[in-house]
Amino acid sequence: MAAAEARWNHVWVGTDTGILKGVNLQRKQAVNFTAAGQPQREEAVSALCWGAGGETQILVGCADRTVKHFSTEEGRFQGQRHCPGGEGTFRGLAQVDGTLITCVESGILRVWHDNGKEASSDPLLELRVGPGVCRMRQDPSRPHVVATGGKENALKVWDLQGSEEPVFKAKNVRNDWLDLRVPIWDQDIQFLPESQKLVTCTGYHQVRVYDPASPQRRPVLEATYGEYPLTAMTLTPEGNSVIVGNTHGQLAEIDLRQGRLLGCLKGLAGSVRGLQCHPSKPLLASCGLDRVLRVHRIRNPRGLEHKVYLKSQLNCLLLSGRDNWEDEPQEPQQPNEVPSEDTETDELWASLEAAAKRKLPDLEQTQGALQTRRRKKKRPASTNS
Amino acid sequence: MVKAGEKNGGGGKKGLKRKAGTLEPQEAAVSEDGTTESGVQPPTAAAFPPGFSISEIKNKQRRHLMFTRWKRQQRKEKLAAKKKLKKEREALGDKAPPKPIPKTIDNQRVYDETTVDPNDEEVAYDEATDEFASYFNRQTCPKILITTSDRPHGRTVRLCEQLSTVIPNSHVYYRRGLALKKIIPQCISRDFTDLIVINEDRKIPNGLILSHLPNGPTAHFKMSSVRLRKEIKRRGKDPTEHTPEIILNNFTTRLGHSIGRMFASLFPHNPQFIGRQVATFHNQRDYIFFRFHRYIFKSEKKVGIQELGPRFTLKLRSLQKGTFDSKYGEYEWVHKPREMDTSRRKFHL
């Protein structure tokens, strides 16, 4: 039953204990999915990305260097492949045209052939991007372009169909006022839509915008926020600002046109590990080391919408980009709810029987499974906190 | 002026009262200060008709007088009500409804969703494989390094010495201005499992940093109410070398569990009951009280305790994942006063 409803989950979160959690915000429920049935710390989820075919498949990158395929339609893991090479966990996962792109911490970026379960152990392409990689991100508009960056590893943009050399390699800013070299620590990278620009957030609490189209290899814009390393970043739906999170759980929205702080979001108590904005709605999902998934509303008014306690430390998340959040989980339930209540209190629902009878013949088969659904249905009526 | 007429200047107090009783009704109807609305009848009229309140009397002595009289009346009414209730209770005997429990902040505590359920498998797995697993699996024995911030004063030094008698297998070292980040790799190579740093400010210890060593979490506490051994009244003789028992009270939430385990991993596994010593970490309203006692059973149910050892109170400020790195470390929990302390009934530990 939980597996059948997995498609209605709004947020998918990967944890440190190897569990993939699907969270349904309407019902405020989280369901655990594990490949082996037991949580295992060796399989800690370090990267998540959508698989092929819209949002029906999720690729889960684990700490033991396996990439598992999870189907949201069926609600179970379908297969996995081992991606050896290099050391460290996955820092980036992407898929394009039936191939899988992985990047590990030691800087080995590999493209694998991803056809079902048969795993040919040789990568199609291998690139060395330099040690200490913190993030590899794929450009959503040009899927064969990826960007990598890390600690003492400058931002590089690679074209996987092109040459072995990076298309764009960022240059470090000038020495500071004491004439000391400014250290580099790119923690997260995002591609700005409708242009070639990239935004990075660093461990030295800077947010930088780079423009490969301009002759300048140094950042075009630099803004700072706070005093703690920024660990995660996401673009807002309008595309003019980014939201960053740091190790103290502070979330801030920074305008990229002027480089100034627009506002902050409260609530998180631990380091922010994953951030994602919905593509059209003003919602932001955040997860971190304080074991709670929070969904904030970014504008009018800015505040917390949902908060779900998930018992393990959360590493990364995927927010479903679909528009109709409210309708779909309830449609299969509403017709099912009434006939199951009929069996309990006939007098009360006698008046409704006439309305329900229309749908009875379709749903009698599924009646047994719906007893528990009825209980869950009551929750959306109550206020969420 | 009209009001002044209400109480003839001077005169007996009792006389005033009676006269006030008669004058008031006329006066209220006459005077329209805007404060007394003729249409409004206050529910607690008592001796004073509508709209009038004691606080409007401008003369301080008279105001005080009226207030004390009112207070006396209230107390009398309260006693009468209590007596009546008691009588009713006795009259009913067994059928009396149970006494209502007084509300306290601890009773009214907001239910924390992170409270650990003992049957929860996910949390059990998380705890079984976290950084303290090697201690709880009996694979490592604790070895503690106690030090202070640089250039400690007498109180802090004495607290460190006393702490090292309380915690077995602990060593006190003088902090020669060394950076913690440099001390930690050295500790790890010498097989220390925990590092305690007592921070001092203006000659009194005020902070505690507890770092579990191989790669474990670091907790930063605010320390207050520190009492050294000589400041404790009616204390027992100095603690012996026996391993104490540990009591961890009221660590219910997930965060509380982590901190509780951190404290537990400071002490060796098998307490020596011969020593009859016990160290208690009692959490109440997010404050952790540390006490060290020696107990003796005088009979089956009666215990006598002697307080030994230092006593202090801790409040958690932050829990950082990884060893001490306040600038670049990732925090599991940070105390944010303006966000977390808005409700008096919400606690985090």
The ipTM (two decimal places) reads 0.81
Q: Which string of b and e fits B20-40 if b means at least 16 CB within 10 Å?
A: beebbeebbeebeeeebeeee
Reply yes or no on whether the pLDDT at B164 is more than 70. Answer: yes
Q: Does the CB of B90 have a partner CB in chain A at under 8 Å?
A: no
CA distances from A138 to A115, A145, A192, A270 (A): 20, 6, 11, 27
Reply yes or no on whether the pLDDT at A1 is more than 60. Answer: no
Reply yes or no on whether the pLDDT at A353 is more than 60. Answer: no
Minimal C-alpha gap between A313 and chain B (Å): 9
**Which range has highest mean pLDDT (A348-357, B1-10, B16-25, B331-340)?**
B331-340
Task: For residue B95, name the pLDDT band (cuts at 50, 70, 90).
Answer: confident
Reply yes or no on whether the pLDDT at B137 is more than 90. Answer: yes
Query: Residues B169-203: pLDDT tens digits?
Result: 999 999 999 999 999 999 999 999 999 999 999 99
The CB density around residue A351, as the number of other CB atoms within 10 Å, is 8
Q: What is the mean pLDDT of residues B159-175?
A: 95
Query: How far is Cα A3 from Cα B156, in angstroms, rounded to an integer?
Result: 59
Reply yes or no on whether the pLDDT at A349 is more than 70. Answer: no
Query: How far is Cα B210 from Cα A241, in angstroms, rounded to an integer?
Result: 39
The two tokens of residue B273 are: 């009951």
Task: For residue A308, name the pLDDT band (cuts at 50, 70, 90).
Answer: very high
Query: Residues B233-284: pLDDT tens digits?
Result: 999 899 999 999 999 999 999 999 999 999 999 999 999 999 999 999 999 9
Q: Does the CB of A248 have a partner CB in chain B at under 8 Å?
A: yes
Mutate to test the interface with B, among A38, A291, A385 (most CBs of B within 10 A): A291
CB contact under 8 A, A248 and B331: yes
Is the Cα dihedral A132, A137, A143, A145 positive or negative? negative
Q: Hey, is B87 helix, strand or coil?
A: helix
Query: How far is Cα B206 from Cα A4, in angstroms, rounded to an integer?
Result: 55
Task: Measure CB to CB from residue A311 to each of B123, B329, B331 and give the nearest one.
Answer: B123
pLDDT for A363: 46
CB contact under 8 A, A289 and B336: no
Minimal C-alpha gap between B106 and chain A (Å): 22
This prediction's pTM: 0.80
Residues in chain B within 8 Å Cβ distance of A267: 339
Reply yes or no on whether the pLDDT at A47 is more than 90. Answer: yes
Reply yes or no on whether the pLDDT at A194 is more than 70. Answer: yes
In the numeric block, the tokens 């029906």 are attached to A56
pLDDT for B264: 95
**Which range has highest mean pLDDT (A50-54, A268-272, A377-381)?**
A268-272
Residues in chain A within 8 Å Cβ distance of B332: 270-271, 289-290, 313
Q: Does the CB of B7 have a partner CB in chain A at under 8 Å?
A: no
pLDDT for A120: 64
Q: Could you write out the DSSP letters of every residue in B126-139?
A: HHHTSTTHHHHTT-
Residues in chain A within 8 Å Cβ distance of B321: 271, 289
Task: For residue A79, name the pLDDT band (cuts at 50, 70, 90).
Answer: confident
Query: Residues A128-157: pLDDT tens digits?
Result: 999 999 999 999 999 999 999 999 999 999
Question: What rounded mean pLDDT belongs to chain A?
Answer: 84
Poorest-confidence range of B13-22, B115-124, B335-344? B13-22
The residue with greater pLDDT, A79 or A330, is A79
Poorest-confidence range of B97-106, B188-197, B255-264, B317-326? B97-106
Name residues whose C-beta falls within 8 Å of residue B254's C-beta, 6 or more positions apart in sequence.
A291, A311, B114, B115, B116, B123
Query: How far is Cα B142 from Cα B193, in angstroms, rounded to an integer?
Result: 5
Q: Could you write out the DSSP letters of every residue in A64-97?
A: TSEEEEEETTTTEEEEEEE--SSSS-EEEEEEET
The residue with greater pLDDT, B111 or A325, is B111
B134: burial class by Cβ within 10 Å (0-12, 13-18, 19+)?
middle
Say how many CB pairs under 8 Å bridge A and B: 63
Task: Measure CB to CB from residue B122 to each of A39, A249, A289 and give the nearest one.
Answer: A39
pLDDT for A3: 60
Q: Does the CB of A384 have a partner CB in chain B at under 8 Å?
A: no
Q: Does the CB of B339 have a partner CB in chain A at under 8 Å?
A: yes
CB contact under 8 A, A269 and B321: no
Q: What is the mean pLDDT of residues B282-307?
A: 95
Of B56, B48, B41, B55, the residue nearest B73 (C-alpha): B48
pLDDT for B64: 96
Minimal C-alpha gap between B114 and chain A (Å): 7
Q: Does the CB of B325 have a partner CB in chain A at under 8 Å?
A: no
Alpha helices in chain A (DSSP H): 327-330, 333-342, 346-357, 360-363, 371-377
